[in-house]
Structure 1
């Protein structure tokens, strides 16, 4: 291991855990199920009320 100053070790520690937390949040966000009321689902399906 290279000899780093204690401040650099603290920086690496924070950087590592920040990366772990960000990746886990991104995985959680992509797997999240969106719960919507029925009105919102119908409104999303019915985009245009005019039949052109």
Structure 2
């Protein structure tokens, strides 16, 4: 292990946890479910966000 100044160790510590939190946020963001509003008619469904291929859209009873 190389000899680093305390400021460099602090930078590495912050960089490590920033990377961990960034990856966690990206995994959370990419795995969110899409919910659609069921307005009673089968032919006209209003989407609350972009459709995600491969994920089944859930519906809330409003």
Higher RCO by CA contacts (8 Å cutoff, separation 6 or greater): 2
Give the unaligned 5+ runs of structure 1.
45-52
| Ranges of 4+ aligned residues in structure 1 off by more than 3 Å | none
TM-score of the two chains, using structure 2 as the length reference? 0.60
Which structure: larger Rg? 1
RMSD of aligned Cα (Å): 1.7
Could you say which structure has the higher helix fraction?
1
Aligned pair count reads: 43
TM-score of the two chains, using structure 1 as the length reference? 0.69
